[in-house]
Chain A
């Protein structure tokens, strides 16, 4: 994968993490997933790699996930945006700090593309911060998707990737998890009147 694509994916990840509107975040997320799929399609088959096959599956996943997220947004429209979310600047700063920490903590990969490794770790950190800090539940789901995209970038950047069965299985599993998470969105809205994770704090000891 070219450095430009990797860092563009990281910028899109940061954008997904800081925007307020769910529809804008879904668009950025879809673009990021699509870029990774197209980049995988552009790679040749290496030892143990199945990039063209994985590329097709990643593109299909990007389209499917974007559709599911878009469906979730349309089914859970709320009269006003979820308020009191952390300021975009604060979210961005925390994400950049987490990216720096992740890159510093994980040693360099001898055989792997350095850029892909750093880009993947950056998306891992952004995804974790997004899942932990953003209040709309759909952003927490997009945090998970960002982590998975980071893993895909590291896998595609190495000289040897995951076996094809595992790569395809990961995509299948993720699609199922996203479908289940999308069904939760409308049920959460029905029960709580909002998809704000702050409303879901009834279970405390």
Chain B
């Protein structure tokens, strides 16, 4: 049976990779659309099967030379497959109205499909990678494809956002690479070859390397923080998420950012015996609080829907950083639930942006208004997304934030927990205010004909609600589950 799981794990990145190659071949305009939808279904189902199976195996991980199929890999594979799969299925609706300067419609569709599927293929491999060096290579590889997607429209704002994203995240990852080199140089790694950077090998290395290993760990976390969108190296995040096509924004926010956090988490777990838990607690805790503190004031300001969601991503990545920092079962469970719940809620918010920007183009620059009169499905999607992101019960994010705060209290970081709770409460008020402004009211915008995007959004909304329902129902079993314990060195 494990061989079948291995084959499935190979298929998860291979399906979008092969589909990306198909898109490179010259063909009719409709081919890119069909490939996107077919890959969204096939790749999504393969990821859901692989992720569910890995989660069901609990602490019984399948490990190889450089890969690991454990419960956390299963959770993140599920998240990536769900978000990227549905984003690909929704992409033709975006492309139907999208304009891109400089190239024709067919070339633009092929360009989009190739970059999107290539991005998905590389991203899908990251959670399955059990090696720090290869994980770094995969994260760097996501940058090139996703930067092209951020700048897809070719407008000034999109180019500015794409360039900023490319340079800032690449520089951050270069700093993380220096950290990996210092880890090798400090003697923390044992043996030679690619296996020396396996997370399992790093964990078994024990206390070695001294101050240089600690400096290496700081450089790795700070460098990867720029890719995870954590403050204070988050400047690219609001721009890239607001300027990218909505399906791409969904993958960036709901799948890419947490996957980078998983790499940081595995690194923290592997290096804690070497450099001590205290260093990571202070570093990631500070990063998490800074992210929350930076994000909350922007959640209070009226701004365009996608930009608002981008600042919400900063807030939620802050919660994830705090959860990782605490390194106990409650906080770890909180992070796992948060990743799943945030993915469903945030992706739904970005998926709703495609019909929203079509029906109410001014929402690209200003807060949306009168959504209920504009379209009930759109209004429900926005209410579900923003309501869940605010942490309003029964959102799974309510349970996850509670668990992260409880984890901080258990870790004797009471002041930390108090500040986190206050910032989350302020964020909650800001998001609810946005909802109150966006849903009721009259609008001048007219609903165009051809509501295909709304039909698809209705399906996506049902899928997101179902995912959040399952996560909320299972939330209180997670603290004892392998998905949380594995990332604490147990399981």
State how many angstroms separate the Cβ of A53 from the closest Cβ of chain B.
13
- A180 contacts B178, C-beta separation under 8 Å: no
A159 partner residues in chain B, CB cutoff 8 A: 185
Q: What 1/0 flags go to B156-179 for Cβ under 8 Å of A?
A: 110111111011001100110110
- A158 contacts B185, C-beta separation under 8 Å: yes
* B278 part of interface (Cβ distance < 8 Å): no
* B143 part of interface (Cβ distance < 8 Å): yes
Q: Given A200-B159, A203-B239, answer yes or no on A109-B185 (Cβ-Cβ < 8 Å).
A: yes
| Bound complex: CA A106 to CA B211 (Å) | 9
* A170 part of interface (Cβ distance < 8 Å): yes
State how many angstroms separate the Cβ of A49 from the closest Cβ of chain B.
8
- A180 contacts B147, C-beta separation under 8 Å: yes
- B134 contacts A147, C-beta separation under 8 Å: no
Q: Which residue of A lies closest to B311 (CB)?
A: A205
* Number of B residues, CB within 8 Å of A: 57
What total of A-B pairs shows CB separation below 8 Å? Answer: 166
| Bound complex: CA A177 to CA B296 (Å) | 33
| Bound complex: CA A200 to CA B196 (Å) | 43
Q: Which residue of A lies closest to B140 (CB)?
A: A173
- A166 contacts B160, C-beta separation under 8 Å: no
State how many angstroms separate the Cβ of A113 from the closest Cβ of chain B.
9
A203 partner residues in chain B, CB cutoff 8 A: 157, 160-161, 164, 238-239, 242-243
- A162 contacts B133, C-beta separation under 8 Å: yes
Q: What 1/0 flags go to B242-254 for Cβ under 8 Å of A?
A: 1100000000000
A177 partner residues in chain B, CB cutoff 8 A: 140, 143-144, 166, 170
State how many angstroms separate the Cβ of A162 from the closest Cβ of chain B.
6
* B470 part of interface (Cβ distance < 8 Å): no
- A163 contacts B133, C-beta separation under 8 Å: yes
B193 partner residues in chain A, CB cutoff 8 A: 48, 163
Of the 9-residue stretches A13-21, A33-41, A62-70, A148-156, which lies at the interface with chain B? A148-156
| Bound complex: CA A205 to CA B237 (Å) | 12
Of the 9-residue stretches A72-80, A84-92, A188-196, which lies at the interface with chain B? A188-196
Q: What 1/0 flags go to A137-169 for Cβ under 8 Å of B?
A: 100110110011011001101111111011001
B136 partner residues in chain A, CB cutoff 8 A: 166
A155 partner residues in chain B, CB cutoff 8 A: 181, 184-185
Q: Given A120-B178, A184-B163, A187-B102, answer yes or no on A143-B137 (Cβ-Cβ < 8 Å).
A: no
A127 partner residues in chain B, CB cutoff 8 A: 171, 174
Q: Which residue of A lies closest to B303 (CB)?
A: A205
Q: What 1/0 flags go to B122-157 for Cβ under 8 Å of A?
A: 000000000001101100110110011001001111
Question: CB < 8 Å: which of A48, A107, A169, A202 contacts B160?
Answer: A202
B186 partner residues in chain A, CB cutoff 8 A: 109-111
* B187 part of interface (Cβ distance < 8 Å): yes
* Number of A residues, CB within 8 Å of B: 57
A165 partner residues in chain B, CB cutoff 8 A: 133-134, 194
- B148 contacts A180, C-beta separation under 8 Å: yes
Question: CB < 8 Å: which of B156, B181, B242 contacts A158?
Answer: B181
* B392 part of interface (Cβ distance < 8 Å): no
* A94 part of interface (Cβ distance < 8 Å): no
* B197 part of interface (Cβ distance < 8 Å): yes
* B55 part of interface (Cβ distance < 8 Å): no
* A60 part of interface (Cβ distance < 8 Å): no
B177 partner residues in chain A, CB cutoff 8 A: 148, 151, 170
* A124 part of interface (Cβ distance < 8 Å): yes
* B215 part of interface (Cβ distance < 8 Å): yes
Q: Given A110-B187, A180-B166, A190-B102, answer yes or no on A202-B157 (Cβ-Cβ < 8 Å).
A: yes
State how many angstroms separate the Cβ of B300 from the closest Cβ of chain A.
12
State how many angstroms separate the Cβ of A4 from the closest Cβ of chain B.
21
- A184 contacts B159, C-beta separation under 8 Å: yes
- A131 contacts B137, C-beta separation under 8 Å: no
A31 partner residues in chain B, CB cutoff 8 A: none
- B155 contacts A191, C-beta separation under 8 Å: yes
* B298 part of interface (Cβ distance < 8 Å): yes
- B212 contacts A48, C-beta separation under 8 Å: no
Q: Given A184-B166, A205-B298, answer yes or no on A169-B180 (Cβ-Cβ < 8 Å).
A: no
* A181 part of interface (Cβ distance < 8 Å): yes
* B477 part of interface (Cβ distance < 8 Å): no
* A128 part of interface (Cβ distance < 8 Å): yes
- A163 contacts B196, C-beta separation under 8 Å: yes
A161 partner residues in chain B, CB cutoff 8 A: 181, 184
State how many angstroms separate the Cβ of A159 from the closest Cβ of chain B.
8
| Bound complex: CA A47 to CA B175 (Å) | 24
* A112 part of interface (Cβ distance < 8 Å): yes
A120 partner residues in chain B, CB cutoff 8 A: 178
A192 partner residues in chain B, CB cutoff 8 A: 156, 159
- A144 contacts B134, C-beta separation under 8 Å: no
| Bound complex: CA A107 to CA B211 (Å) | 6
| Bound complex: CA A47 to CA B185 (Å) | 12
9 inter-chain pairs at a CB distance below 8 angstroms, sorted by A residue, are A109-B185, A111-B185, A155-B181, A166-B197, A170-B140, A181-B167, A187-B102, A191-B156, A205-B238
Further 14 A-B residue pairs, CB within 8 A, beyond A162-B133, A203-B157: A106-B212, A108-B212, A109-B212, A110-B210, A111-B187, A128-B175, A144-B171, A147-B178, A165-B134, A166-B180, A177-B143, A179-B144, A187-B102, A203-B161
Across the A-B interface, give the 10 residue pairs with the lowest CB-CB distance, nearest first: A48-B192, A166-B133, A158-B185, A107-B211, A200-B160, A169-B137, A147-B174, A173-B140, A112-B185, A163-B194
